[in-house]
Amino acid sequence: MRRILHGSLYAACIFFLLVSPTRADSGTEGICMTVQQGIRLHVDGMYGGYPHSVLRDAVLQGVACPSDEAELHAFSLIAESAPHLRISVTRPMGQGQQGSISARLFAQGHFIIGERMSLSPLARSQSPFSVSSDINLMMARLWSDLALRISHGGPVIP
């Protein structure tokens, strides 16, 4: 009986280890659908023990799309097929712990541009939805930096 119980427990552990990565990888969302073909967003990371679905919803709430003329022009240069944006949020468990967010934009299999910043003091001590304003600021910087690089004659793909 003990052998059957241990074998079943072992099989259940293997099953959940194999299933959870595929479920996390299927979490790609379509965002900025009014701009060209949109962007495929993937959210990575953890936020102090909250479920990943809560973190993903907070990130979706904070994402900013290219908006002004220069940003839209720069985006059109990489939007032949839908670019891929990967946002990572890390905040360890515990009140006031440091954390960071990063965004990396890929197009046609190439890295285009990225931004990284520390979480604001508010986002370090609140629920995942407090990180939305940090993500919005980081995304605004990402689009601005891409537009600036293109306006100075820099390469689309560095």
What's the domain count of the chain? Answer: 1
Q: Of 112 and 79, which is predicted with more confidence?
A: 112
Q: Does residue 43 lie within any of the structural domains?
A: yes
Q: What tokens does 16 get?
A: 């959940």
What's the CA gap between 13 and 9, in Å, rounded?
6
Do 132 and 103 meet the contact criterion of CB atoms below 8 Å apart? no
Q: Does residue 73 lie within any of the structural domains?
A: yes
Residue span of the structural domain in which 57 resides: 28-151
pLDDT of residue 16: 42
pLDDT tens digit sequence for 87-139: 999 988 776 668 999 999 999 999 999 999 999 888 777 888 989 999 999 99
Q: Does residue 9 lie within any of the structural domains?
A: no
Q: Does residue 22 lie within any of the structural domains?
A: no
Share of the chain above pLDDT 90, in %: 56
What's the CA gap between 136 and 148, in Å, rounded?
18
pLDDT of residue 43: 96
Q: Does residue 8 lie within any of the structural domains?
A: no
Q: Does residue 68 lie within any of the structural domains?
A: yes
pLDDT of residue 57: 94
First to last CA, the chain: 61
Q: What tokens does 122 get?
A: 């508010």
Q: What is the mean pLDDT of residues 60-68?
A: 94
pTM, to two decimals: 0.78
Q: Does residue 14 lie within any of the structural domains?
A: no
Share of the chain above pLDDT 70, in %: 80
pLDDT of 80 over the 70 cut: yes
What's the CA gap between 158 and 149, in Å, rounded?
10
pLDDT tens digit sequence for 10-25: 544 444 444 433 334 4
pLDDT of residue 25: 42
Q: Does residue 18 lie within any of the structural domains?
A: no
